[in-house]
Amino acid sequence: MNYKQYTIILGIVLMGVILAAGCTQGATQPAGEIKIGVVASLTGPVSNLGNGMWDSAVIAANEVNAAGGVYVKEYGGKVNITLIPGDDQSTPAGGQTAVTKLITEDKVDALVGGYSSAVTYAHEQIVAQYKVPYVVTGASSPTITHRTDIDTSYIFHHCPTTDTYGKYTTEFIDQVIRPAINAKFNFDAGRPLRLGIIYQDSQFGQGVYSAVNNTIHAENLNIQIVGAQSFKMAESDFHTTLTAIKAAKPDAVYVAAFTNEMVPMVTQARRDVGLNTFFLAVENNDAPAYYKGLGGYGNYSVIESRFSPYTVPTGTIADAVAAFKTPYTARFGSPPDMMGASTYEGVRIVAQAISDAGTVDKASVQQALVNLRMPQMIEAMQNGVITFSSNYHESQFKLYMEQLVWNPTAGETRPQIVWPENLKAADFVVPDWYTPGSG
């Protein structure tokens, strides 16, 4: 290498540094504007979920701004919400960079979003350091607000956790499926339900699995886990796993998986392995791709839900959901999913908290979030209010169970709410092809 080479290389490096410095000059903040950073995976393997989160946040901001904005006492009037995207690129490093930029360059007043626990852990620490109110709406691990190595007081979790998933589904199995099977096949009423579990080998899957175990023991339910199998994330061939589960002769199979795994699994179970049983899916699958992918094989399977593209619990929620779904579908061409739903609510929650605080001062907004009591919007909450628990800052979702029933007009199955009693639209059905386990 000679002199010339080095000058040129150094020139490039120098230019690069200048470019980077230039690029990082954030916009100056006009007085009286609320800036919310949306942390989402806009690129990378989970970009489909991340883009749904961002789109939903846009709908929420538009809705608030169309109504004149958020009333902030400090400003003496209503101000608009401006959203700023932070692409975590589905990686911890990407999330850290994005969040640092949102906080230190864009000077956001609050953060919403955050998908994947591994990604969220890495940037939570910055949020804790800079004390910015953060409503996490995508990551499902309870650890997000339970960890003790950092100060999580500014972090609020508005998304059901794996503990919640496991609890509701297990209770449903005990209260509805077990009696229904025992009645249909004239079994002794005391016969325990034989449950098979298939879970993704990840924090999500293991979290659901342990929640099922914990619920069975804590509530002393008459459920016997007869087989448990796990699989590697992004797996698409489940034949052997299903064959092993079938050999355990279960009455029902609870699966903790993502849609791209759930669709081939149920298809292969019903079509190839002849596992004619109830499949129960976690709420993260309740999206159009799931119904389309399953086709007829989804018939009579069960899914847990907090937000469904095709059904709404009756009551006030129905109107609110329409107010979200209609503009979303019109603008983006397909209905929103549940990650989008909680992110939509996340933006509205932050707006409400800022309004309650009367200022964008972060400590006051944090206090407002702690004290928040907001009527439920598009997802059903415990007691109909959104409020964050005092110990772990978790909002309490009320999940419901849907059974998928074939709809000839759609050429796909459609969900019907079958549990709990106060929300249900139809009775749980045990179809004729269903074969109970034995052992």
Partner 1 sequence: MKAPDSGRLFRYSTLLCLALAVIAPASGDIYLLNLLVLMLIFIIFASSWNLLALSGQGSLGHAAFFGIGAYASTLIAVKTGLSPFIALPLGGVVAAGVGLLIGLTCVRLKEWFLAMVTFGFAIITQTLVVSVLAPVTGGWSGLASPRLLSAAIPGNSFIEYYSILGIAALSILAIRALMGSKIGLAFAAIRENETEARASGVDPVRYRLLGFAASAFLAGVAGALEIHHFGYVTPDIFGIDISFLPVIYTIFGGLGTLAGPVIGTVILTIVSEGLMNFGLTFERFIIIGLILILVVIFLPRGLVSLPEEIRKRWKRHGDNPVVSQTKKE
Partner 2 sequence: MVDVGILLQIVFWGLYAGCIYLLLATGLNLIFGVMKIVNFAHGEFLMLGAYVTAAIFALSGLNPYAIILLTMLVLVSIGGFVERLCFRPILGTGKLNEIFLSIGLIYVFENVAAVIWSDRWQSIQSPYSGISIPIGPVSLPLDYVIIMVVTTAILTGLYLFLERTQVGMAIRATSQNRRGAMLVGIDVERMDMLSFGIGSALAAAAGTLWVVSGQVFNPYMGSIPAIKAFAIIILGGLGSIPGAIIGGLLYGLAENATAFLVGGPWKDAVSFIVLIVVLIIRPRGLFGEAEE
Partner interacting with residue 31 (select from partner 2, partner 1, none; CB below 5-8 Å by kind): none
CA-to-CA distance for 191 and 393, rounded, in angstroms? 39
Task: In angstroms, give the least distance from the CB of 5 to partner 1.
Answer: 4
Binding letters toward partner 2, positions 9-48, x by CB under 8 A: ----------------------------------x-x-xx
Instruction: By CB under 8 A, tell whether 342 contacts partner 2.
Output: no
Find the binding residues for partner 1 in span 118-137 (CB under 8 A): 118, 121-122, 124-125, 128-129
User: Do 251 and 195 meet the contact criterion of CB atoms below 8 Å apart?
Assistant: yes
Q: Is 105 left (phi over 0), alpha (psi -120 to 50) or beta?
A: alpha
User: Do 239 and 213 meet the contact criterion of CB atoms below 8 Å apart?
Assistant: no
**Phi, psi at 326, each rounded to 5°:** -60, -55
Q: Of 12, 27, 247, 363, which one interacts with partner 1 (CB under 8 A)? A: 12
Find the binding residues for partner 2 in span 378-417 (CB under 8 A): none
Of the two residues 180 and 244, which places its CB atom closer to partner 2 in the complex? Answer: 244
Q: Is 326 left (phi over 0), alpha (psi -120 to 50) or beta?
A: alpha
Instruction: Give burial (CB, 10 Å; 0-12/13-18/19+) of 188.
Output: exposed
Instruction: Dump strand ranges (E) for 213-320.
Output: 223-231, 252-256, 278-281, 302-305
Binding letters toward partner 1, positions 72-111, x by CB under 8 A: -------------x-x---xxx--xx--xx-xxx------
Instruction: By CB under 8 A, tell whether 201 contacts partner 2.
Output: yes
Q: Token pair 């007085």 is at which residue?
A: 31
Instruction: By CB under 8 A, tell whether 229 contacts partner 1.
Output: no
CA-to-CA distance for 428 and 261, rounded, in angstroms? 25
Largest Cα separation within the chain, whole Å, is: 90
User: Do 208 and 165 meet the contact criterion of CB atoms below 8 Å apart?
Assistant: yes
Partner interacting with residue 8 (select from partner 1, partner 2, none; CB below 5-8 Å by kind): partner 1
Instruction: By CB under 8 A, tell whether 162 contacts partner 1.
Output: no
Partner interacting with residue 274 (select from partner 1, partner 2, none; CB below 5-8 Å by kind): partner 2
| Helices vs strands, H then E, count in the chain | 14, 16
Instruction: Dump strand ranges (E) for 259-384.
Output: 278-281, 302-305, 374-375
Task: In angstroms, give the least distance from the CB of 303 to partner 1.
Answer: 24
CA-to-CA distance for 283 and 258, rounded, in angstroms? 10
Cis peptide before 45 (omega within 30 of 0): no
Contact range with partner 1 by CB under 8 A, out of 13-21, 59-67, 75-83, 174-182:
13-21
CA 246 from centre of chain: 30
374 pairs with which residues across the strands?
Answer: 386
Instruction: By CB under 8 A, tell whether 271 contacts partner 2.
Output: yes
Of the two residues 44 and 295, which places its CB atom closer to partner 1 in the complex? Answer: 44
User: Do 175 and 400 meet the contact criterion of CB atoms below 8 Å apart?
Assistant: no
Instruction: By CB under 8 A, tell whether 333 contacts partner 1.
Output: no
Q: Of 259, 301, 311, 355, which one interacts with partner 2 (CB under 8 A)? A: 259
Instruction: By CB under 8 A, tell whether 293 contacts partner 2.
Output: yes
Partner interacting with residue 48 (select from partner 1, partner 2, none; CB below 5-8 Å by kind): partner 2
Instruction: By CB under 8 A, tell whether 263 contacts partner 2.
Output: yes
CA-to-CA distance for 397 and 144, rounded, in angstroms? 16
Of the two residues 274 and 431, which places its CB atom closer to partner 2 in the complex? Answer: 274
Instruction: By CB under 8 A, tell whether 230 contacts partner 2.
Output: yes
Instruction: By CB under 8 A, tell whether 203 contacts partner 2.
Output: no
Footprint of partner 1 (CB under 8 A) = 1-6, 8-10, 12-14, 16-17, 19-21, 23-24, 42-43, 47, 51, 85, 87, 91-93, 96-97, 100-101, 103-105, 117-118, 121-122, 124-125, 128-129, 141, 143, 147, 149-150, 201-203, 206
Footprint of partner 2 (CB under 8 A) = 43, 45, 47-48, 51, 201, 229-232, 234-237, 239-241, 243-244, 247, 259-260, 263-264, 267-268, 271-274, 289, 292-293, 295-296, 334
